[in-house]
Amino acid sequence: MGAIRMAGQRLHSCVGRSLGAGSQPLSHGSSSSSTRGVAQATPTAGNVSTVVQPGTVMTVVRPFAPRSSLPEALQALPAVPALLDAIKACEHRPFRVISHETDGGRVFNCAFFDNVDAFVSYREWFAEHALRPGGEFYADIAQTFADRGSMPTAESWLWGTGTRILSDTRFGEYQLGMAVRYSQATFIDAAAAEDAGQRALDPAFERKIARGMQDAGVAYFGRIVMQEEASGRWITASRYGSLEDAQRGTAAVKRIAADDISRWFSTYEYIIGTARRVLEL
């Protein structure tokens, strides 16, 4: 499946956060409840809640291999000090960025924005100043990639984006070391999209997944399902206790929903990352 291709405005106007100074530990707690649409979690001191509000945008950066000598190799947005300063001063900055590492050593960010306008401002700024040759941060960022030839363009930078929340059954709070499977899918046609909207978003479908995870001994903490309204694609973030849980959970989903996936989607792809750092702004 082709990745969602977007661009990333002037300095101090908009750019997404990286994970560095000010990063907080993630933690998981059991004192929570979940309602359809928005996950409700009771945060404790120093913890990071998973609560998001209607209108929230979630976007995932395409994974890349960092240069081995990069001081903060687990920062999925390269550690360019001037860029990090601009990020902190950005008017339309994301309110949360989680940095992940894949089992193959690649890194990527998942960022959450208050609304579509903030996200659009961010992607336009980032494309102009960081991804286009001659941009203020282009040369510095290019040096942080293991292979400079893999430096993304404004069109290839983002892996997937959700602009509308369809369902959010996540519960508890994040903990470093937890893993997330991000999946995105394109529907075969309008009829398939309508059927999936009725069946996959039904609480009974979530209970079916949860039972399957329990039977497989997988630590599973729910999922958020979103739609990119411009294309109609779905992007889902499913949360697990560990990388191993995410891998076994992915295999379980393929067994549990194999018929549905083949009936609904023309393309389906996913990436799995272990949470390494988080920045709440």
Task: With respect to residue 105, please indicate whether it lies within any of the assigned structural domains.
Answer: no
Decide if 156 is inside a domain: no
Predicted local confidence at residue 201, as pLDDT: 94
184 assigned to some structural domain = yes
85 CB contacts (<8 Å, ≥6 apart)?
A: none
Q: What angle do CA 192, 247, 2 make, to 5 degrees?
A: 45
The answer as to whether 218 is a domain residue is yes
Query: pTM of the prediction?
Result: 0.79
Quickly list DSSP for 88-119.
HT-TT--SEEEEEE-TTS-EEEEEEESSHHHH
For residue 208, being part of any structural domain is answered with: yes
Give domain status of residue 228, yes or no: yes
Residues 6-60: tens digit of each pLDDT: 222 223 233 333 322 233 333 333 333 333 233 333 333 334 455 677 899 999 9
Residue 173: which domain range? 162-271
pLDDT, one tens digit per residue, over 138-194 is 888 888 788 877 888 888 999 999 999 999 999 887 788 899 999 999 999 999 999
Q: Which residue(s) pair with 224 in the sheet?
A: 168, 237
Whether 195 is covered by a domain: the verdict is yes
Number of domains in the chain: 1
Whole-Å CA distances, 107 to 67, 130, 265: 11, 18, 27
Non-local (6+) Cβ contacts of 105 within 8 A are 65
Residue pair 257/238 in contact (Cβ under 8 Å)? The answer is no
Radius of gyration of the chain from its Cα atoms, rounded to whole angstroms: 18
Per-residue pLDDT tens for 213-228?
999 999 999 999 999 9
CATH code at 243? Answer: 3.30.70.100
Q: Is 185 a member of any domain? A: yes
Distance between CA atoms of residues 247 and 202, nearest Å: 24
